[in-house]
Amino acid sequence: MTKRVVIYTMSCGDGHNMISNTLKKTFEKYHGDECEVKVVDYYKDYWSPFRSFICDQFFRFTMEHAHWFYHIMYGMYRKDNLPKSNPLGIRYVQMGKYKKILGTIEDFKPDLIIGSHIFTTMALTDLKNQGKVDIPFYCIITDYTVYPLVEYSLGVEKIITPSDKLTDELIQKGYRDDQIACLGFPVRMNRPEERPNSGRKNLSLLIMAGPGRIKSIDKDIKDLLIADLDIHVVVLNGKDEKHRRKVDRIIAGLRHERTVIENLGFVDDAAYESILNECDIIVSKCGANTLSEAVMMGKIIITSPDLVGQELDNLSYFSERVPIFLIDEKKGIAGILRENTFDQDYLDEYWSLTDGMIPSDGYKRYVDLFYGSE
């Protein structure tokens, strides 16, 4: 019997879409013709251009350039008590979408629904309370924190968390213990049995310079080239071709004899896994996807503390478990590399420290739970 699954995603940065689409691929990989999976972008597929703009482009802008605004909004919706009714702003967020959800359910007839963004499971909880939805639905927490407004999604069959550290707070928010499933973060790759590049003389550095990059990354790349350390650098700009060209100009304008640098744009999953596997250090902001995969693969992390919201929570979570090196106004990437001895002994020690911290093959664990549900 074919199982039909709806996965609700949200274009709100890149993380929710990546998780939703990889889940779909994992369902199809392990269950093939036994499942039919439909991914729905909550505002793009349920046509809502202004709200789509606010949740994606405006979200990206505030995370990069207006931290004060995002900090206010993030804190505003954090509550310690159980809700009585949805806040006015959330009513606007959901306006017109309940009918769309019910239309999808009537047309597609799913056996279960998965939400990788809290807005969708909030709406489904309302519909369940109104007696209009009796299909089991699940919420995936995609960061190492309990989100604001999560108390409005109590109708879920399960809320899936990356860490049992979140359990107590979720219970305080009103969830039952049997609703909470800690499966570790879903990562796309598997950790090698041995540390790659063991014994290699030169360090290899991966810089994530796509949308949502560290603010100082251009200056850091310049300083790194001026320092001309004996390292190999790969820069990934994602789909930001404008920034890729800018980095090309930076490279062309600075003399560097010992530093080998590759400046790339968007790469597919297989290429990214290969690049991540080959590097020793990754420079990135604190998105949960990148941090989880980096730690799972035993990579040293350099990041910026200039963060807000869930990124700060992600940084706090990992800083308690592994050494993380921070860029500041006086010390960039080159300064961190000069001050610390990232030799083979240190890399081996870090590799051992991260062993088992993020379980491999996370998506299969998620799909096994979902597919086995009634």
- pLDDT tens digits, 72-113: 666 666 665 666 556 666 777 888 899 999 999 999 999 999
Number of independent structural domains in the chain: 2
Based on the fold, state whether residues 219 and 324 are members of the same structural domain. Answer: yes
> Is residue 193 domain-resident?
no
For residue 20, CA distances in Å to 90, 329, 337 come to 23, 37, 36
Question: What are the E-state strand segments in 126-246?
Answer: 137-140, 158-161, 180-182, 203-208, 231-236
Based on the fold, state whether residues 149 and 246 are members of the same structural domain. Answer: no
With cut-offs at 50, 70 and 90, classify the pLDDT of residue 168: very high
Question: Tell me, what CATH number does 281's domain have?
Answer: 3.40.50.2000
Least confident of 46-55, 119-128, 249-258, 331-340: 46-55
Say yes or no to pLDDT of 158 above 70: yes
pLDDT score, position 359:
86
For residue 232, CA distances in Å to 38, 63, 126, 208 come to 41, 30, 52, 14
Query: Model pTM?
Result: 0.88
> Is residue 160 domain-resident?
yes
Side chain identity at residue 373, one-letter code: S
Based on the fold, state whether residues 337 and 209 are members of the same structural domain. Answer: yes
Based on the fold, state whether residues 167 and 214 are members of the same structural domain. Answer: no
Based on the fold, state whether residues 318 and 277 are members of the same structural domain. Answer: yes
Based on the fold, state whether residues 11 and 97 are members of the same structural domain. Answer: yes
- C-alpha 68/C-alpha 48 separation (Å) is 26
Least confident of 61-75, 146-160, 175-189, 349-363: 61-75
* Closest alpha carbon to 150 in 170, 134, 168: 170
- C-alpha 4/C-alpha 24 separation (Å) is 11
**Top-confidence residue, 156 or 328:** 156
Based on the fold, state whether residues 60 and 167 are members of the same structural domain. Answer: yes
Say yes or no to pLDDT of 130 above 90: yes
- pLDDT tens digits, 321-342: 999 999 987 889 999 999 999 9
With contact defined as beta carbons under 8 Å apart, do 122 and 90 qualify?
A: yes
pLDDT score, position 87:
65
Based on the fold, state whether residues 40 and 81 are members of the same structural domain. Answer: yes
Based on the fold, state whether residues 64 and 153 are members of the same structural domain. Answer: yes
- C-alpha 343/C-alpha 12 separation (Å) is 39
CA dihedral 18, 19, 21, 25 (to 10 degrees): 130
Backbone angles phi, psi at 361, to 5 degrees: 55, 45
Based on the fold, state whether residues 81 and 212 are members of the same structural domain. Answer: no
For residue 294, the Cα-to-chain-centroid distance in whole angstroms is: 12
CA dihedral 237, 239, 241, 247 (to 10 degrees): 0
> Is residue 197 domain-resident?
no
- Domain of residue 100, residue span: 3-187+360-371
Once rounded to an integer, what is the mean pLDDT over residues 25-36?
Answer: 91
Based on the fold, state whether residues 42 and 156 are members of the same structural domain. Answer: yes
With contact defined as beta carbons under 8 Å apart, do 225 and 253 qualify?
A: no
Based on the fold, state whether residues 114 and 59 are members of the same structural domain. Answer: yes
Say yes or no to pLDDT of 241 above 90: yes
